[in-house]
Amino acid sequence: MALMKCPECGKEVSTAATSCPHCGYPLKKEKSAQYETMTIKVRCWGRSPDALNNKLREYTSKGWEVVSAIEDHWQGGILSPVYKVVLKRQKR
């Protein structure tokens, strides 16, 4: 474990610390989110996986990645289910 001096109080602090345990001075900046997310609703005709994949191709071709897809039973039906889909991609 390497040590350094806190720029605020001058006491020794671990280089792995995010803040000084003595005075609370922040030592490391928090990383901002590297991804942007989007939630969409998708209605599909038919229940095959290809039906949903075909609808999502518009997004996946633009760099979006599917995080989750959950069927919304309250809005869908037997022949045209509705999915709540969460997508993410690298921030630009």
Residue range 28-76, pLDDT digits in tens: 876 666 889 999 998 887 767 788 899 999 999 999 999 998 887 666 5
pTM summary value: 0.58
The model's confidence at residue 88, banded by pLDDT at 50, 70 and 90, is very high
The CA-based angle 66-74-41, given to 5 degrees, is: 30
DSSP strands (E only) in the chain: 3-5, 12-14, 35-43, 65-72, 82-90
Same domain, 5 and 40: no
pLDDT of 3: 92
* Domain containing residue 39: CATH number: 3.30.1660
More confident residue, 14 or 1: 14
Helix, strand, or coil here: 19? strand
pLDDT at 24 over 70: yes
Band (92; pLDDT cuts 50, 70, 90) = confident
* Same domain as 85, residue 56: yes
The answer to whether residues 25 and 39 belong to one domain is no
Separation between Cα atoms, residue 77 and residue 92, nearest integer Å? 37
26 shares its domain with 45: no
Enclosing domain of residue 10: 1-30
Q: Which residues partner with 14 through β-bridges?
A: 3
